[in-house]
């Protein structure tokens, strides 16, 4: 890393933040950044300016979530068509954040798609992780044909998460009318345009009990009375 030209040209603060991102991200290259904690642990300020210096090595998913595309190639040579067990889990995380298309291409922005092996090819590292960058993680063609497509895996994942949602809501079935629970589920399990996330998954906060209570309160207060005062 320290011999890489790109890394050498970074400022001291950018080098520190890059090392911080690499050591704090999960196995999919995703980091949920706690700004205050990061400032305490690194002694850095003005993180937004430093992140800009790192350029497209860091992809901003939202205000808190950041993604390091190069991390995938380094960890899982041949991603997503590789044998490493952790790569499957990493792919599921990327699907959740809508960071890959149906062919496994990584989204660097809403209008930019590249394969992982094409992402920043001039950066350091030749895949010296468990795959040694020599292709031993590649899946042969017969095995690849047996695997479901990424599009199908996306659909399977969303259905699995829907089932988990329904199970959690069912815990409150004795407290609320069945038609209200059905409407609640229909509304909150609606997916975004890409079909990768449901409405409830895109909320910054979520508690099933409180959401159901609020839904019930609104549904009852919105009911118009059948009679007027003058009828009595």
Residue pLDDT, tens place only, 171-214? 998 999 999 999 999 999 998 887 778 898 888 888 899 999 99
75 Cβ contact list (under 8 Å, min separation 6): 27, 29, 84, 86, 87, 90, 129, 130
Give the per-residue pLDDT at 193. 80
Cβ-Cβ contacts under 8 Å for 207 (sequence gap 6 or more): none
Helices and strands: H and E segment counts in the chain: 10, 5
Return the higher-pLDDT residue of 97 and 39.
39
Pairing of strands 112-114, 30-32: unpaired
Question: Which one of 51-60, 106-115, 117-126 scores highest in mean pLDDT?
Answer: 51-60
90 pLDDT tier (thresholds 50, 70, 90): confident
Q: How many CB atoms lie within 10 A of CB 40?
A: 10
CA distance 182 to 223: 17
* pTM flag (> 0.85): no
Break the chain into its structural domains and give their ranges: 5-147, 152-221
Residue 209's contacts (CB-CB under 8 Å, 6 or more residues apart) are 172
């Amino acid at each position: 890393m320290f011999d890489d030209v790109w890394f050498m040209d970074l400022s001291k603060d950018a080098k520190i933040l890059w090392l911080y991102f690499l050591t704090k991200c999960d196995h999919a290259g995703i980091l949920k950044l706690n700004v205050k904690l990061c400032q305490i642990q690194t002694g850095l300020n003005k993180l937004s300016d430093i992140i800009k210096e790192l350029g497209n090595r860091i992809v901003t998913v939202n205000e808190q979530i950041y993604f390091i595309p190069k991390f995938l190639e380094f960890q899982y040579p041949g991603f997503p068509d590789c044998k490493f067990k952790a790569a499957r889990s990493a792919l599921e995380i990327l699907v959740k954040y809508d960071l890959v298309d149906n062919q496994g291409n990584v989204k660097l922005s809403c209008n930019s798609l590249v394969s992982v092996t094409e992402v920043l090819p001039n950066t350091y590292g030749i895949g010296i992780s468990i795959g040694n960058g020599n292709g031993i993680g590649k899946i042969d063609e017969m095995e690849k044909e047996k695997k479901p497509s990424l599009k199908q895996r996306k659909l399977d994942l969303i259905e699995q998460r829907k089932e988990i949602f329904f199970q959690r809501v069912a815990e409150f079935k004795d407290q609320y009318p069945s038609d209200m629970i059905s409407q609640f589920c229909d509304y909150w399990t609606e997916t975004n345009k890409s079909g990768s996330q449901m409405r409830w998954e895109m909320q910054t906060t979520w508690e099933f009990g409180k959401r159901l209570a609020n839904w019930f309160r609104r549904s009852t207060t919105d009911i118009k009375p059948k009679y007027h005062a003058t009828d009595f």
